[in-house]
C-alpha cells in the first residue's frame, strides 16, 4: 500500500511541524476532557453505594409529599448507573427505568437520565427518555439535599428534595 501526500498550501517544513504537533494536541484534548469525569467529583465517595431515602419535598416554603413519596430510594451504583425505587407505594403509570447519571456544570448539577414507556387501554405505547437536573445544595455522610435546576428556567418554583441514608 502506498500513501501519497500532496500539499498545495504547505511546504514540507509546515507539514512536518503540523504532524509533530498532532500527538500533543490529542493529549491536551484527552486531559481537558478527563477533568470532568464524575469520578473526579470531590464528594463522589459520599454519594455512591448508599441507599438515599427521600425524606422531604419542599417548594416556596411549603412542605409537599405524603407517605407514598417517602418510601422512594435513590442509589448511585457506580460512576454512571443508578436506580430509583418508588417503593411499595408506587403510583407510577407505566415504567420509568433509571439509565445513567453524571455530574455537570463544574460538579454542581446532578443529571439523571431515565427511559419511560407508557401504554393505554387500546394498546398504544409511547416510549422515550427524559432528563432531570438537580443542583446539589449539600451532601454529607448521611444527608443529600437537591434543588430542581430547571425550575427557574421554566418559570416555576424549585422543589427541594431531602434524602437520608
The mean pLDDT value of the chain amounts to 83
CATH of the domain at 83: 2.40.128.540
Q: pTM of the full predicted structure?
A: 0.73
Q: What stretch of H or E contains 27?
A: helix 12-34
Q: Dig out the grid coordinates for 132 from the structure.
A: 432531570
Q: Are 93 and 118 in contact (CB under 8 A)?
A: yes
Q: Are 95 and 101 in contact (CB under 8 A)?
A: no
- Does residue 110 fall inside a structural domain? yes
Residue 59: closest CA among 51, 68, 69 = 69
- Does residue 56 fall inside a structural domain? yes
Number of domains in the chain: 1
Across the range 50-70, mean pLDDT stands at 95
Among 14-18, 69-73, 104-108, the range scoring the smallest mean pLDDT is 14-18
Decide if pLDDT at 70 tops 50: yes
- Does residue 153 fall inside a structural domain? yes
Handedness of CA 84, 88, 89, 94 (dihedral sign): positive
The confidence band for 152, taking pLDDT boundaries of 50, 70 and 90, is confident
Amino acid 118: pLDDT:
87
- Does residue 144 fall inside a structural domain? yes
Q: What stretch of H or E contains 17?
A: helix 12-34
Amino acid 32: pLDDT:
42
> DSSP letters of 82-122?
EEEE--TT---SSEEEEEEEEEETTTTEEEEEEEEEEE-TT
Domain holding 133, by residue range, is: 38-164
Residue 109's beta-bridge partner residues?
Answer: 104, 135
- Does residue 11 fall inside a structural domain? no
Residue 10: CB partners within 8 Å, gap ≥ 6?
18
Among 13-17, 48-52, 53-57, 96-100, the range scoring the smallest mean pLDDT is 13-17
Residues of the chain above pLDDT 90, percent? 59
| Rounded CA separation 87/93 (Å) | 14
Q: Dig out the grid coordinates for 41 from the structure.
A: 467529583
- Does residue 160 fall inside a structural domain? yes
11 against 45, higher pLDDT: 45
| Rounded CA separation 144/148 (Å) | 13
7 against 85, higher pLDDT: 85
- Does residue 129 fall inside a structural domain? yes
The confidence band for 82, taking pLDDT boundaries of 50, 70 and 90, is very high
- Does residue 121 fall inside a structural domain? yes
Amino acid 13: pLDDT:
54
Amino acid at each position: 500500500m502506498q500513501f501519497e501526500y500532496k500539499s498545495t498550501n504547505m511546504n514540507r517544513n509546515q507539514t512536518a511541524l503540523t504532524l509533530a504537533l498532532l500527538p500533543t494536541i490529542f493529549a491536551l484534548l484527552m486531559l481537558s476532557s478527563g477533568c470532568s469525569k464524575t469520578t473526579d467529583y470531590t464528594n463522589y465517595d459520599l454519594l455512591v453505594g448508599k441507599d438515599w431515602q427521600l425524606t422531604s419535598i419542599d417548594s416556596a416554603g411549603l412542605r409537599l409529599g405524603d407517605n407514598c413519596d417517602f418510601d422512594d430510594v435513590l442509589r448511585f451504583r457506580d460512576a454512571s448507573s443508578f436506580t430509583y425505587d418508588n417503593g411499595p407505594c408506587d403510583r407510577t403509570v407505566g415504567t420509568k427505568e433509571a439509565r445513567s447519571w453524571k455530574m455537570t456544570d463544574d460538579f454542581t448539577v446532578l443529571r439523571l437520565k431515565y427511559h419511560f414507556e407508557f401504554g393505554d387501554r387500546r394498546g398504544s405505547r409511547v416510549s422515550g427518555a427524559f432528563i432531570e437536573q438537580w443542583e446539589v445544595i449539600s451532601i454529607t455522610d448521611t444527608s443529600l439535599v437537591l434543588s430542581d435546576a430547571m425550575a427557574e428556567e421554566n418559570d416555576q418554583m424549585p422543589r427541594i428534595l431531602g434524602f437520608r441514608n
